[in-house]
């Protein structure tokens, strides 16, 4: 999708559709007021007929308004001004895009409302508009014909701003929003692919393809023989049950100083998880194709950074495997030795994500990282705790926790901190190994993070449990591309391009 920006007299903007925001029981203001004056009051006359009832997300399409160059005017209702928050703002913009997709317009000019949502400035409002539009026009078509696809999809959106000085702000917002959306949609598409297509090898191929498009990105893919040489016994124990060979995907982006320590993103890449010998119930097991969304988000974040050309040193590591039952698969009670030399008693083969992550986290030490963040659809317990609204955040570093939470809040991709206290470590005690891979039913998301913490003592580290946010179930089933936006915002701030 193409995004441009304009300023000037809205009445003279030639466009198939001009989008204007209004508020419940409020006089027309800002862009809407200017257009109303140009139309000789016709706009307010139609608006007062009451077809918009003040509910955020309602739309009204108007045709042939006098005094305007626009073919159509789409009024979008942001509801009560005092309730105009980011959620209602995005909901209303999404409704506008959905309405446009039902017309033959194909392109539009969006004039933001005179009153922006609480806590949002012009930059954030434009960036959110770009990301919301991209989200709504995304369609999954890889393995089916989309019979509901619009005949004239929205292909261009122009963001109108009030004055010339605002154009520079709009330019940055569009650039950042489009890059975030590209990364989100890549992660989303990878997550939506079925497990028979999106295998560990396929994930590796996508990383290699990405590197072929950006000179600053280099990719190395380690096969099982290379991982065996590194003594990645935990990771390889998971892949033994599958006919698909495991891969360790290593992506390195160099856009900053040559001596800069890298930020490392580690993403769980379980391209299908049946639970192994501790097999999952059949109901909704199809959703376990999404168990690679951590890895997909790392690849998506790498794309966003490449698109932006950030002055930063960034490494992405994706351990990729399947977890299936087989005669050679892990058995409950088995003990494996991780790359760190620590032994692990496998009490539940369905707690395999931490097994592939722990070796990847040990591997990260070779980069002498400034920071490591792992992200994984790790536990159902995190879904129970936080639902679909926030990722679970775990770190012992208060400053880092605040930084990640602030980045998530600023881009509407939130995380919420949960404890990582030493008290929980005893739940991982084992009579036969250095640790068990599960800590019982209580505090499952926390003990999973405590397990990973044992492999991250040599560098600053945070863990994001994204099991609740990486996909949605039900009628709208599909990947979300979260938390690519959060990661990209964090990297924008860390690179100095954006002030935190």
Count CA atoms closer than 13 A to 169's CA, side-chain side: 14
CA 498 to chain centre: 19
**354 catalytic per annotation:** yes
Helix (H, G, I), strand (E, B) or coil at 294: helix
SS3 labels along 314-366: EEEEEEEEEECCCCCCCCCCCEEECCCCCEEECCCCCCCHHHHHHHHHHHHHH
Which residues make beta-bridge pairs with 374?
266, 463
Q: How many angstroms separate the CA atoms of 123 and 377, rounded? A: 31
User: What is the rounded CA–CA span in Å between residue 359 and residue 341?
Assistant: 10
Distance of alpha carbon 220 from alpha carbon 208, whole angstroms: 8
The residue annotated as part of the active site, out of 231, 280, 365, 406, is: 280
Query: And the tokens for 116?
Result: 């922006």
Distance CA 124, CA 130 (A): 10
d(CA 247, CA 313): 23
Name residues whose C-beta falls within 8 Å of residue 401's C-beta, 6 or more positions apart in sequence. Answer: 393, 395, 417, 462
Q: Which of 90, 188, 354, 482 is catalytic?
A: 354
Does residue 373 contact residue 487 with C-beta atoms inside 8 Å? Answer: yes
Residues annotated as catalytic (active site), given as ranges:
280, 354
């Amino acid at each position: 999708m193409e995004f441009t920006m304009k300023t000037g007299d809205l009445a003279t903007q030639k466009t198939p559709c001009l989008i204007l925001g209004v508020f419940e029981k409020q006089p027309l203001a800002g862009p809407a007021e200017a257009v109303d004056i140009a139309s000789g009051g016709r706009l307010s006359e139609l608006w007062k007929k009451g077809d918009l009832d003040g509910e955020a997300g309602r739309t009204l399409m108007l045709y042939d308004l006098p005094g305007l160059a626009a073919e159509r005017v789409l009024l979008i209702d942001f509801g009560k001004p005092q309730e105009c928050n980011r959620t209602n703002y995005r909901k209303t913009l999404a409704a506008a895009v959905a309405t446009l997709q039902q017309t033959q317009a194909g392109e539009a000019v969006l004039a933001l409302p005179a009153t922006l949502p609480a806590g949002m400035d012009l930059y954030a409002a434009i960036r959110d508009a770009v990301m919301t539009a991209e989200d709504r026009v995304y369609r999954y078509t890889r393995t089916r014909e989309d019979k509901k696809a619009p005949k004239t999809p929205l292909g261009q959106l122009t963001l109108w701003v009030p004055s010339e000085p605002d154009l520079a702000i709009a330019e940055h917002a569009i650039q950042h929003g489009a890059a975030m959306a590209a990364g989100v949609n890549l992660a989303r598409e990878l997550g939506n692919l079925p497990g028979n297509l999106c295998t560990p090898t396929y994930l590796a191929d996508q990383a290699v393809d990405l590197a072929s498009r950006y000179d600053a990105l280099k990719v190395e893919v380690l096969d099982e023989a290379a991982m065996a040489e590194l003594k990645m016994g935990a990771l390889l124990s998971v892949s033994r049950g599958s006919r698909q060979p495991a891969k360790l995907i290593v992506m390195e982006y160099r856009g900053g100083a040559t001596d800069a320590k890298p930020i490392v993103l580690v993403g769980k890449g379980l391209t299908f998880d049946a639970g192994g010998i501790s097999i999952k119930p059949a109901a909704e097991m199809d959703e376990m194709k999404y168990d690679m969304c951590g890895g997909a988000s790392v690849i998506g974040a790498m794309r966003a950074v490449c698109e932006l050309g950030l002055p930063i040193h960034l490494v992405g590591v994706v351990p990729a495997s399947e977890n299936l039952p087989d005669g050679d698969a892990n058995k409950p009670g088995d003990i494996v030795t991780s790359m760190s030399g620590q032994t692990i008693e496998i009490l539940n083969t369905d707690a395999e994500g931490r097994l592939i992550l722990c070796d990847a986290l040990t591997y990260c030490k070779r980069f002498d990282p400034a920071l490591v963040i792992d992200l994984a659809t790790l536990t159902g317990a995190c879904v129970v705790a936080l639902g679909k609204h926030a990722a679970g955040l775990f770190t012992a570093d208060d400053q880092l926790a605040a930084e990640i939470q602030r980045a998530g809040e600023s881009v509407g991709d939130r995380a919420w901190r949960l404890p990582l206290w030493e008290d929980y470590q005893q739940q991982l005690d084992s009579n036969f190994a250095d640790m068990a891979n599960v800590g019982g039913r209580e505090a499952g998301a926390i003990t999973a993070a405590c397990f990973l913490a044992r492999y991250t003592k040599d560098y600053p580290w945070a863990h994001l449990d994204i099991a609740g946010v990486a996909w949605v179930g039900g009628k709208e089933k599909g990947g979300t591309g979260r938390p690519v936006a959060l990661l990209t915002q964090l990297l924008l701030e860390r690179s100095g391009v954006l002030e935190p």
